[in-house]
Amino acid sequence: MQMCVRLQMAEGVINDDEWNFFLRGGQVLDRSTQPPKPPFDWITETAWDNITELEKVLPESFNGISAAVGLNNKEWHRWFLSVKPAPPESAQLPGEWETKCEDRLKKMIVLRCFRPDRVNFAIRNYVEHFMKKEFVENRPTSLREVFEESKKEEPLIFVLSPGADPSDSIKMQAEERKIAFESISMGKGQAEKAKKILTEGAENGNWIFLANCHLSVALLPELESIIDFLFSEKSQQRTPIHEDFRLLLSARPHPQFSISLLQRSLKIA
């Protein structure tokens, strides 16, 4: 959506004030100057705040919309209850507002005021309409593509969700390339073994997989020191790093995980 809007801004299609209101909604600091909310349960305080502020911030496009909602309650309530109110899937906006809100962003602003639960669907439709469907589809991660993009000096970190285990898929990729694969699960007492196979793997061109690094975050600064040494000029002169070498790690999100290690790595969720 950000990409799509920036392109449209460059073309002069989108009004900055409209876009800002769509992002932030109406911020009401003093309700004493606000028109009284109509006595209808379906209009929440937040929705009324948004609608009344909409008139103030964007009077050229939305002047009179709060009065229209109060005077034409049945039609607005029918639209509000619609299963698919998000443009372009929606029933038309009540009365003259379908014509007044001539573009999709204006319709999405009204939707945001009353039905924030449908905004995500409207955004997907918006991007698909102005760009392509591929921009709203989640492509599954292809490990083959990941390894083709990877570099010997750039660790790969697999950020784990509950139940996820990429080890078999990684091993399969190594076997396809006929590369030796070594794996250990990090935890108490594994520090020395990790250092040993990392150093040997860098020299021999192996793939080294250190799994569950969240179990030994205290070791990560030392692991980074080893990485720094392996790729230092002094080390390279003595034993160059093999081109096939890859360092792979997996970890669940952890508040003490090394930020510098994340920054220097390719991350896969």
Q: Which residues of 233-247 are buried (b: 16+ CB within 10 A; e: fewer)?
A: eeeeeeeebeebbbb
Tell me the average pLDDT across 177-203.
Answer: 85
Q: What pairs with residue 268 in β-bridges?
A: 158
Tell me the average pLDDT across 141-151.
Answer: 85
Tell me the average pLDDT across 209-228.
Answer: 85
127, 129, 130, 132 alpha-carbon torsion, rounded to 10°? 70
Q: How far apart (Å, rounded) are the C-alpha atoms in residues 114 and 192?
A: 59
Question: For residue 112, which of 80, 74, 66, 83 has the smallest C-alpha distance?
Answer: 80
Q: For the chain, which residues make up each domain, given as ranges? A: 2-136, 143-268
pLDDT tier, 24 (very low <50, low <70, confident <90, very high otherwise): very high
pLDDT at 29: 78
Length of the chain: 269
Q: Is the predicted pLDDT of residue 67 greater than 90, yes or no?
A: yes
pLDDT at 91: 72
pLDDT at 231: 79
Q: State whether CATH 3.40.50.300 applies to domain 143-268.
A: yes
pLDDT at 106: 93
Which tokens in the block code for residue 226? 């080893």
- The dihedral through the CA atoms of 66, 70, 72, 73 has a sign that is positive
Q: How far apart (Å, rounded) are the C-alpha atoms in residues 123 and 192?
A: 51
pLDDT at 83: 81
Q: Is the predicted pLDDT of residue 267 greater than 80, yes or no?
A: yes
